[in-house]
Amino acid sequence: MTDVWQKCISSSGTIRGVAIRCTDLARDLADKHELTGENARAFAEALVGGFILSSYTKEGERMNLNIKGDGWVKQALVDAYADGTIRGYLVPNPAQPSTGVTFDFSNEGPWGKGLLSVLRKRDDQVGAEPYIGTVPLLTGHLAKDLAFYWLQSEQVPSAVGISVNLDWEGRVASAGGFIVQAMPGATDEEIAGIEARVVSMTDLAKEVSIDRDPVHILSQIFQDMAFVILEKKQLKAQCRCSWDRVRRALVLIGPDELQSILDDIGEASVKCEFCTTDYKADRAELEKLIAETKAD
């Protein structure tokens, strides 16, 4: 089963939902960033959260999820796009063990206290003001805090579930989740029914771990409420970095700093935080950049 999201809406048009499976890309990205144990789990949770946020964006929009806490993770940052692509990185809390250890966070969420910020922006509209919403991490559990964000910043009552399982090596074994939202016109009976089924849904981790279509999660949540599948989209990891962007960033440093790098080191190295690609400007390239910046 490939990594996908499935979007649906009830036949009444009053309840909508998305179910996500992103096991393969979450594992691959965590491995690329050399994350294991609770760091890998937190990173995979942030990726699922990014997909949840981007699933209702318009084509060309980017959702940036930025989580800063005092728990296991210091920061996680994810860029997710309406086309189903995503990138991200995680900064572990140096006070916590980095690999191979798991802890019980049943009483306190692994993200701890901090802030959850969401930025929505169209990258194809230069100068357009982004929308930014920020809420406190109330519980330290990402699913609950994302639901709080939707209610506070978007005024949309939501139920969110995120599940990440690890294997015996501390690597991501499965990752997925869902969001269900009440739309205008939803009856109290419909909302109560959805809430009851979400609360009683104790086997989300099992459903996510099974390599099958995430529509099964939606079927459990909606049960006897008829719904229509609106979209099934393949998900993939994709970075937006490029040598041209790195080159523009180096130009902004200015000729004096570039000359200092040339004299002291002989080359410039820039590593993308999202995909870990290492870009290098050798002596000839630095000399060319210095000449260009002086000409400007």
CATH code of the domain in which 263 resides? 3.90.1280.10
Look at residue 286 in the predicted model and tell me its pLDDT: 85
The CATH number of the domain holding residue 104 is 3.55.30.10
Q: In the chain, how many domains are there?
A: 2
Which is nearest to 228 in space by CA: 15, 4, 5, 3?
15
HEC profile of 23-59:
HHHHHHHHHHCCCCHHHHHHHHHHHHHHHHHHCCCCC
Return the pLDDT at 67. Answer: 97
Shared domain for 192 and 208, answered yes or no, is yes
pLDDT at residue 47, as a whole number: 98
The torsion angles phi and psi of 220, rounded to 5 degrees, stand at -70, -35
Same domain flag for 251 and 221: no
Domain residue limits at 206: 4-237
**pLDDT of the residue at 110:** 83
Burial label, 244 (beta-carbon count in 10 A; 0-12, 13-18, 19+): exposed
For residues 134 and 33, membership in a common domain is answered with yes
Q: Do residue 74 and residue 221 come from a single domain?
A: yes
Asked if 82 and 206 sit in the same domain, the reply is: yes
- The amino acid at residue 7 is K
Same domain, 231 and 254: no
Identify whether residues 219 and 247 lie together within a single domain: no
pLDDT number for residue 170: 95
What's the burial of 209, exposed, middle or buried (CB within 10 Å: 0-12/13-18/19+)? middle
Q: Are residues 133 and 200 in the same domain?
A: yes
Residue appearing with tokens 């080159």? 247
Domain closes at, from 237, 254, 286: 237
Contact 214, 19 (CB under 8 A): yes
Question: How long is the chain?
Answer: 296
pTM for the whole structure = 0.90
* pLDDT given at position 202: 64
β-pairing verdict for 114-122 and 61-69 = antiparallel
CB atoms within 10 A of CB 71: 21
**C-beta contacts of 100-104 below 8 A and 24+ residues apart:** 100/36, 100/37, 100/169, 100/170, 101/37, 101/38, 101/170, 102/37, 102/38, 102/41, 102/166, 102/170, 103/38, 103/72
Which pLDDT belongs to residue 1? 64
Going residue by residue through the chain, which has 296 residues, state the pLDDT in tens, using 9 for 90 and above: 689 999 999 999 999 999 999 999 999 999 999 999 999 999 999 999 999 999 999 888 999 999 999 888 999 999 999 999 999 999 998 876 444 444 444 445 789 899 999 999 887 766 678 889 999 999 999 999 999 999 998 888 999 999 999 999 999 999 999 999 999 999 999 989 888 888 877 667 667 767 678 888 899 899 889 999 999 999 999 999 999 998 888 888 888 888 888 888 888 888 999 999 999 988 888 888 888 877 66
